[in-house]
Amino acid sequence: MFFERPDSGEIAVLVHIDFYDQTENYGPEEFIELSISAGADPVAVVEGSRQRPDPRYFIGSGKLEEIKDIVLREEAQVVLFDHALSPSQERNLESHLNCRVLDRTGLILDIFAQRARTHEGKLQVELAQLQHMSTRLIRGWTHLERQKGGIGMRGPGETQLETDRRLLRERIKAIQKRLDKVNSQRDQSRRSRSRSAVPTVSLVGYTNAGKSTLFNKATGAEVYAADQLFATLDPTLRRLDVEQIGSIVLADTVGFIRQLPHRLVKAFQATLKESSEADLLLHVVDCADIARDDNIKEVDAVLEEIGANEVPVLKVFNKIDALETGEPRIDRDENGKPYRVWVSAKEGIGIGLLQQAIAELLGEDIINDKLVVPSDQGRFRAMLFEQGAVRSEEYDDLGRSVLEVSLPKKDFMQLLARAGISEDQVVAA
């Protein structure tokens, strides 16, 4: 597959190989989008199939020469592989092709580095990049490896290599320490929201499914949104008023992608914790994408990896404006519980239905009621105030405290247990 000669940007040759032993093989379309998102100008996509990767070059000798011919003819500056390459395979390919070689992980890391805006986001990306780089340091010192023996010539390459590795280890430790501090601050914020009985709803989904557009439409925020992969990385939190529930916190998080590098998942652990500790996940799906079912599986896999697979999920089928018969609606299960909402974030269609579904799902686990607390249960009353769950208080003719409360049911049950009383001892007004 060839493209027109680009006017600007790094000229790139893309490589996509299908393997017989893989249960699922995907086309190169998404990888082409990734390369363009990184600022590359692909001039050709080399495709092929193999039984298994070649241990030295990943590809066979025939494909290797085909790529080399294209690199020379097109004067390509980089060859991008839609696969994970070992450090030795990258070195061997660069030596044979005489140009830079980057695998899928390196390409995604480069995109993340370009898109990170906040201090935390930049730290997370740098950590992942340094961890990835630490296994590939030797590539930069191959000229010193050739110096074998001779007076004054023993081991300068290894000495430089060890120095770089030590500097990398120190930098990684420093970044990890700063990220631990950020993580601690996020935990404190989450505890504060929990004490205030404010539910958290987190947006998750495949990259470019329209999460940020939906976030902006629902909250009136101005998070950067564009029709490209990984348009936004940094998490954003906004308060949103939902009828019958009150205030909730809506969190926009980084999009997922097929074969998302494990180092990135680990580096963004503090950010992704917003999803694993949310009260509800909104799984945003591009319903017009022909690969939507596969994308849903990929997101589910990442949610399981970060420990968010037990959080209740409401699927949001976005971009119904791209369907011929797309209509906003709520799909319910056999118990009448919402499990999917059809919307168009771009056109603002179905946002009211989405809020209705959120209210129904959160309302099952949130107590919004008036409680009559007897005078001898002052400890329980104090706990409710300490939790930030009391909206108003008045007294009845018997001098009992009548409290209007709002808090998650699990917190309510914990308070009852701590106060040593049963639910029927607190009378509903």
Summarised one tens digit per residue, pLDDT across range 77-129 is 999 999 888 888 998 999 999 999 988 888 888 888 877 767 777 887 788 88
224 assigned ligand-binding residue: no
253 assigned ligand-binding residue: yes
Residues of the chain with pLDDT under 50: 6, 139, 141-155
Q: Return the closest-CA partner of residue 201 out of 243, 253, 244.
A: 253
254 assigned ligand-binding residue: yes
Query: Domain 366-425, what architecture?
Result: 2-Layer Sandwich (3.30)
266 assigned ligand-binding residue: no
255 assigned ligand-binding residue: yes
142 assigned ligand-binding residue: no
98 assigned ligand-binding residue: no
339 assigned ligand-binding residue: no
Residue ranges of alpha helices (H) inside 220-291 are 262-267, 269-276
**Where along the chain do its domains lie?**
10-102, 196-364, 366-425
12 assigned ligand-binding residue: no
346 assigned ligand-binding residue: yes
233 assigned ligand-binding residue: yes
- One fold for 196-364 and 366-425: no
319 assigned ligand-binding residue: yes
208 assigned ligand-binding residue: yes
Q: What is the CATH number of domain 10-102?
A: 3.40.50.11060
234 assigned ligand-binding residue: yes
Domain 196-364, what fold?
A: Rossmann fold (3.40.50)
Residue 369 burial (C-beta neighbours within 10 Å; 0-12, 13-18, 19+): middle
Give tens-digit pLDDT for 340-368. 999 999 999 999 999 999 988 887 667 77
Sheet hosting strand 40-50, strand order edge to edge: 40-50, 10-19, 78-81, 100-102
Check: CB of residue 116 under 8 Å from CB of residue 124: yes
318 assigned ligand-binding residue: yes
| Per-residue model confidence (pLDDT) at position 359 | 87
217 assigned ligand-binding residue: no
207 assigned ligand-binding residue: yes
343 assigned ligand-binding residue: no
Question: What is this structure's pTM?
Answer: 0.70
